[in-house]
């Protein structure tokens, strides 16, 4: 296995498009790093540069101790899994797994050993004689994983490998990838635009937007301390509520929204350091609660209640501002009626309204 180091790695396509503005980070030996961000943010470009499928315009890429900018993909000791699993339809699973090794001229005994080991790891030994069309989408994607496994590479690169699968299969193959990672102790770089996949699978996550790294941290650290409004809004579903206004003290802390509406934030024990300042206030849906007695509450109007089963998403408006709360299933007012809610004592996030950066 090996670490991967990016040092100001930049990609400018021939048409002048800057897809990656200069990325610097290290993926530790044995780490599962997820690259996440919306469509077009440069995830695949970054991964393909690590794979050697895309030329690096500037900066340095190291796999292990070796600078590999000019090393051909086949000599980088990596294996890549793509979204479209593209198996050879006329070949059995065994032949699909063996194909790459045969091309490289590996000895027969070595091919058999690796194919059997990969099939064993993936629980597919009984399927080695099947053709792709005889298998489900999840099983085919597992064969595609197997094709990477037989390479026994130092680094696995996966580009949205689950997006062709339905929700249930996505979950089971995702669990499988997590298990494989633990079992092999492999270095993996996993690209997805799905924040749930990123949060559940990644040991650390790189959040990208428009070719620029927004934040790199563990899933929980990103969730609890997003570095800016983009990360705050991207991770978490439903997304964090954000309101713009000026903080001031008057019988507790208030946010005076830009249209003059007052939002009571409660009586904190410690004075808020940004009193008097204009801020973007972030409140996660689970931190907007039905108000008990004595809390600094405000009356919001229920617009729509979305039951999810174990919880409900309550869509509210407060003086025209849309808010989403996430609550345990309970009796709630009907749409059109009022609900007293509070953020007193809840975790509040404060951002600079101009730069979007978290106020520390
Ligand atoms: N061969 C190319 N030539 C020119 N521009 C490209 C090329 N490939 C990608 N781009 C541009 O580079 C940017 C990043 O593309 P990339 O494919 O890396 O995004 P992505 O994050 O993987 O998106 P998605 O989630 O849709 O797969 C996009 O604006 C895209 O249009
Ligand atoms: Mg992509």
pLDDT at 242 (0 to 100):
97
pLDDT at 6 (0 to 100):
98
Q: Which DSSP symbol is given to 240?
A: P
- From the CA of 11, give the closest atom in ligand 1: 12
- From the CA of 44, give the closest atom in ligand 1: 22
The answer to whether residues 201 and 177 touch, using CB atoms and an 8 Å cutoff, is: yes
In the numeric block, which tokens belong to residue 11? 């990609």
- Which range has the worst mean pLDDT, 29-38, 238-247, 261-270? 261-270
Secondary structure element (H or E) that encloses residue 45, with its range: helix 43-51
- 84 band by pLDDT with thresholds 50, 70 and 90: confident
The answer to whether residues 73 and 227 touch, using CB atoms and an 8 Å cutoff, is: no
- More confident site: 258 or 354: 354
Q: Can you tell me the distance from the alpha carbon of 207 to that of 10, in angstroms, rounded to the nearest whole number?
A: 16
The answer to whether residues 66 and 5 touch, using CB atoms and an 8 Å cutoff, is: no
Q: What is the 68 CA–ligand 2 centroid distance (Å)?
A: 22
- 296 band by pLDDT with thresholds 50, 70 and 90: confident
The percent of residues above 70 in pLDDT, for the chain, comes to 99
Q: What is the mean pLDDT of residues 268-276?
A: 82
- 292 band by pLDDT with thresholds 50, 70 and 90: confident
Q: What is the 44 CA–ligand 1 centroid distance (Å)?
A: 7
Question: 115-126: buried (b, 16+ CB within 10 Å) or exposed (e) per residue?
Answer: beebbebbebee
pLDDT at 82 (0 to 100):
87
Q: What is the mean pLDDT of residues 48-73?
A: 97
- From the CA of 15, give the closest atom in ligand 1: 4
Q: Can you tell me the distance from the alpha carbon of 182 to that of 272, in angstroms, rounded to the nearest whole number?
A: 43
Q: Can you tell me the distance from the alpha carbon of 96 to that of 196, in angstroms, rounded to the nearest whole number?
A: 31
- Alpha helices (H) in 52-166, listed in sequence order: 93-103, 108-121, 137-149
Q: What is the 152 CA–ligand 1 centroid distance (Å)?
A: 29
pLDDT digits (tens, 9 = 90+) for 305-340: 999 999 999 999 999 999 999 999 988 899 999 999
Ligand nearest to the Cα of 211, by number: 1
The answer to whether residues 352 and 276 touch, using CB atoms and an 8 Å cutoff, is: no
- 39 band by pLDDT with thresholds 50, 70 and 90: very high
Ligand nearest to the Cα of 194, by number: 1
- From the CA of 43, give the closest atom in ligand 1: 21
pLDDT at 176 (0 to 100):
87
Contacts of 211 (CB under 8 A, 6+ apart): 11, 18, 19, 20, 21, 41, 42, 45
pLDDT digits (tens, 9 = 90+) for 105-149: 999 999 999 999 999 888 899 999 999 999 988 889 889 999 999
- 268 band by pLDDT with thresholds 50, 70 and 90: confident
Nearest C-alpha neighbor of 97 from the set 114, 85, 84: 114
Q: Which 3 state secondary structure label does DSSP give 265?
A: strand
> CB under 6 Å to ligand 1: residues?
13, 15, 17, 19, 37, 39-45, 193
Tell me whether the omega of the peptide bond preceding residue 238 falls within 30 degrees of 0, making it cis: yes
- 278 band by pLDDT with thresholds 50, 70 and 90: very high
Provide the whole-model pTM: 0.93
pLDDT at 169 (0 to 100):
80
Answer yes or no: is pLDDT of 295 > 80: no
Return the residue whose CA atom lies nearest to atom 14 of ligand 1: 42
Q: Can you tell me the distance from the alpha carbon of 51 to that of 80, in angstroms, rounded to the nearest whole number?
A: 7
Answer yes or no: is pLDDT of 57 > 80: yes
Q: What is the 5 CA–ligand 2 centroid distance (Å)?
A: 21
pLDDT at 92 (0 to 100):
96
SS (H, E, C) 191-211: EECCHHHHHHHCCEEEEEECC
Nearest C-alpha neighbor of 206 from the set 234, 172, 176, 174: 234
Answer yes or no: is pLDDT of 269 > 80: no
Q: What is the 205 CA–ligand 2 centroid distance (Å)?
A: 16
pLDDT at 3 (0 to 100):
97
Burial of 319 (0-12, 13-18, 19+ CB in 10 A): middle
pLDDT at 198 (0 to 100):
96
Q: What is the 140 CA–ligand 2 centroid distance (Å)?
A: 20
In order of start, what are the domains of the chain with their CATH numbers?
4-234 (3.40.50.300), 241-351 (2.40.50.140)
Residue 6: φ, ψ to 5°: -110, 130
Q: Can you tell me the distance from the alpha carbon of 180 to that of 174, in angstroms, rounded to the nearest whole number?
A: 10
Q: Which 3 state secondary structure label does DSSP give 138?
A: helix
pLDDT digits (tens, 9 = 90+) for 153-212: 999 999 999 888 888 888 888 998 999 899 989 999 999 999 999 999 999 999 999 999
């Amino acid at each position: 296995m090996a670490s991967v180091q990016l040092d100001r790695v930049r990609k400018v396509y021939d048409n002048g498009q800057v897809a990656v503005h200069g990325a610097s980070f290290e993926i530790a030996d044995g780490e599962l790093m997820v690259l996440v961000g919306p469509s077009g943010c440069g995830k695949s470009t970054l991964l393909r540069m690590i794979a050697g499928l895309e030329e690096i315009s500037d900066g340095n890429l190291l796999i292990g101790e070796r600078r590999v900018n000019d090393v051909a993909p086949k000599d980088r000791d990596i294996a890549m899994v793509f979204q479209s699993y593209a198996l050879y339809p006329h070949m059995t699973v065994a032949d699909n797994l063996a194909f790459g090794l045969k091309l490289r001229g590996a000895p027969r005994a070595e091919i058999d050993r690796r194919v059997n080991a990969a099939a064993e790891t993936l629980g597919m030994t009984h399927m080695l004689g099947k053709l792709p069309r005889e298998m489900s989408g999840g099983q085919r994607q597992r064969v595609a994983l197997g094709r990477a496994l037989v390479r026994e590479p130092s680094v696995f690169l996966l580009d949205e490998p689950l997006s062709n699968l339905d929700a249930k299969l996505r979950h089971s193959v995702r669990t499988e990838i997590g298990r494989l990672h633990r079992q092999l102790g492999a270095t993996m770089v996993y690209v997805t635009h799905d924040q749930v996949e990123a949060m559940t699978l990644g040991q650390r996550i790189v959040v990208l937007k428009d070719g620029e790294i927004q934040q790199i941290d563990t899933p929980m650290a990103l969730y609890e301390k997003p570095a800016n409004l983009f990360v705050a809004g991207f991770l978490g579903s439903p997304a964090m509520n954000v309101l713009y206004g000026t903080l001031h003290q008057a019988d507790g802390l208030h946010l005076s929204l830009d249209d003059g509406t007052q939002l009571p934030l409660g009586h904190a024990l410690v004075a808020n350091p940004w009193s008097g300042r204009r801020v973007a206030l972030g409140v996660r849906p689970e931190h907007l609660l039905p108000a008990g007695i004595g809390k600094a509450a405000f009356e919001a109007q229920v617009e729509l209640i979305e039951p999810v089963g174990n919880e409900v998403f309550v869509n509210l408006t407060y003086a025209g501002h849309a808010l989403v709360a996430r609550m345990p299933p309970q009796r709630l007012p009907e749409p059109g009626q009022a609900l007293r809610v509070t953020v007193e004592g809840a975790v509040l996030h404060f951002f600079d309204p101009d730069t979007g950066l978290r106020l520390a």
